[in-house]
Amino acid sequence: MNAMAQRDVIDRALVTLTTRAKCAQEAAARIDAKLLELPSHMAVSQEIFELVSLMTAHVSEAMTNLDASFDYTWGIFEFNASAASMPSASRIAVLAFAEQKIEACESMVKKALKMVDGEMDVWGNAIPHGANWGK
């Protein structure tokens, strides 16, 4: 694969990861909104509210930091002449690290959503709580 083809692959991967990062951020925001919209008779317990808020804040912070990291890293790739000599493996390693962070955040968002949905459904269904959450 020539250098241009490698760059195209890396650019496409970056776009995909950035999109996933934004989706994780948006999902975290939706969970926060969902918590605020719950009717009072379906109130989420304070412990769950605090835990989910902490989880979604972590996702938003991680994705914001990742965006800044992407901007910095890709700025170097674009404007620094020495970046042209940076091995593709190094560029791919940056993307692999980003993908790990995004996957961790996506997992955290799913767990938070499951916890909120469990609280909302407890009035009509038997939802496992406590140690069973997130499983």
Residue 25 belongs to a domain:
yes
CB-based contacts of 134, cutoff 8 Å, min separation 6: 111, 114, 115
The pLDDT value given to residue 7: 66
pLDDT digits (tens, 9 = 90+) for 26-61: 777 777 777 776 655 455 566 767 777 777 777 777
Residue 129 belongs to a domain:
no
Number of domains in the chain: 1
Q: What range defines the domain where residue 53 resides?
A: 3-121
Quick one: three-class SS letters along 45-86? CHHHHHHHHHHHHHHHHHHHHHHHHHHHHHHHHHHCHHHHHC
CB-based contacts of 53, cutoff 8 Å, min separation 6: 32, 35
Confidence of residue 128 (pLDDT cuts 50, 70, 90): very low
Residue 56 belongs to a domain:
yes
Residue 117 belongs to a domain:
yes
Residue 16 belongs to a domain:
yes
Residue 135 belongs to a domain:
no
The mean per-residue pLDDT over the stretch 118-132 comes to 50
DSSP string, 1-59: --HHHHHHHHHHHHHHHHHHHHHHHHHHHHHHHHHHH--GGGPPPHHHHHHHHHHHHHH
The mean per-residue pLDDT over the stretch 54-80 comes to 67
